[in-house]
Structure 1
Amino acid sequence: MHMSTTIKILGTGCPKCKTMTKVVQEVVNENQIDATIEKVEDLMDIMKFNVMLTPALVIDDVIALKGRVPGKNEVLELLKTKETGHMYNSSRGSQNNCC
């Protein structure tokens, strides 16, 4: 049984946050992934995820990545990893955070 994926992009609307949103939308569309994409821009809502570095990518309420913008291939791999149940938390490159 396949369920729709919920993707949340945490960020206050900075350029990197907008870029992440665009990349994720393109990956979902190009690969016909059954997913809902939600932008979370309210700082109080972002803090509920205990995320200090934005942008952050949350897949089905699991923080998949924070502090940087991933490439399309990485987003696709994160979504595939979610499907297999082996999600990991990646903050590589977090020194490049935008907010």
Structure 2
Amino acid sequence: MDIKVLGPGCKKCNTLAEATNKALNELSMDANVEKIDDMVKILSYGVMSTPALVINEKVVVSGKFPSVSEIKEFIEKA
């Protein structure tokens, strides 16, 4: 599983990365979590507001901070 956290490196983006890792730990899953702060790459996903979460190259949430339980749901659906 490939997970990307898109954002310019702000506090919310870093918190989303931490929450994503927590969700993975609670699910006992391993995944590559990559933080992307390059605006050109972020825009290539069609994301206009950050933070955003991309799972297996699909944007699952953008412009809001999901809870750990919501992130777990996104991961389980992927």
TM-score of the alignment, normalized to the shorter chain, above 0.5: yes
The runs of 4+ residues in structure 1 deviating greater than 2 Å are none
Instruction: Report percent identity of matched pairs.
Output: 37
Residue in 1 that maps onto 2:76: 80
Task: Give the paired residue count.
Answer: 78
Question: Gaps (5+ residues) in structure 1?
Answer: 83-99
Q: Deviations over 1:20-70 (max 9, x none)?
A: 011001111222212110001111111111100100000000000000111
Q: Normalization by structure 1: what TM-score?
A: 0.75
* 2:58 aligned with 1:52: no
Q: Normalization by structure 2: what TM-score?
A: 0.94
Residue in 1 that maps onto 2:2: 6
Q: Deviations over 1:1-30 (max 9, x none)?
A: xxxx10000000111111101100111122
For the aligned residue pairs, the C-alpha RMSD in angstroms reads 0.8
Larger Rg: 1
Higher relative contact order (CA 8 A, sep 6+): 2
